[in-house]
Amino acid sequence: MTTSLSTPPRLSSPRSSTAAGARAVLAVGGGLSAVAFVIAVVGLIVDPAVLTGAPAWIKPAKFAFSIAVFLLTLRWILSYVRGHDRLLAMLSSVITVALVAEIALVEMQVLRGTTSHYNEATDFDAAVFYAMGGIVSLVVIATIAAGVLALRQRGHAPVRPLASGADVGTPRGTPHAGPLNGR
């Protein structure tokens, strides 16, 4: 006697494809940030412009590099989160779009020959500065939400040692008189 299935078995669940999409968004953002970093390094090499006593392209280079590292680190941490796939996709998208916009605004201001932060010289400069403040506020809120999801995971996750106060960076059994273990 043979039985046939009315529907073929799924090879992957929609949940895992949504989570993979969230990680892909963060990877794309990290890649765009890396491209922005390369642009800023080229700017450092070919553009002798100076803003507030420093090479004009140093701030965009620092922003792009740190944002690339942040997005790729967040991608790694969120790969351990199970469930909440739609929320993770939304948070990943918000964080990525906001930070890529932040880099674009910083680089735009350098191309305009002016500073991006604490600049209220014109109405446009003030609008850019306040937009950047709103963007970073949104990123902080979304990052806190993503962090809470990561910290609530059961079992092995890269953030568990930090959350539990365990020694980080020392081999097991190695005595360590650091602030994380209360000794």
Q: Is the dihedral of CA 71, 76, 77, 82 positive or negative?
A: positive
pLDDT at 15: 44
Residue 123 lies in a domain: yes
Containing domain of residue 62, as a range?
Answer: 21-157
Residues 126 and 119 sit within 8 Å (Cβ to Cβ):
yes
Residue 60 lies in a domain: yes
Residue 52 lies in a domain: yes
On the question of pLDDT at 10 being above 70, the answer is: no
Tens digit of pLDDT for each residue in 39-63?
999 999 999 999 999 999 999 999 9
Residue 16 lies in a domain: no
User: How many whole angstroms separate alpha carbon 63 and alpha carbon 83?
Assistant: 31
Output the pTM of the full model.
0.76
Residue 10 lies in a domain: no
Residue 174 lies in a domain: no
Tens digit of pLDDT for each residue in 90-118?
999 999 999 999 999 999 999 999 999 99
Residue with more model confidence, 21 or 34: 34
pLDDT at 1: 54
Count of domains observed in the chain: 1
Residues 135 and 102 sit within 8 Å (Cβ to Cβ):
yes
pLDDT at 21: 83
Helix (H) or strand (E) holding 50: strand 50-51
pLDDT at 16: 58
Residues 82 and 149 sit within 8 Å (Cβ to Cβ):
no
Residue 29 lies in a domain: yes
Query: Tell me, what CATH number does 124's domain have?
Result: 1.20.120
Tokens at residue 124, please? 């446009």
User: How many whole angstroms separate alpha carbon 13 and alpha carbon 142?
Assistant: 25
Give CA separation, 103 vs 2, 4, 59, 106, 128, in Å.
Answer: 61, 55, 10, 5, 12
Residue 150 lies in a domain: yes
CB atoms inside a 10 Å sphere around CB 42: 12
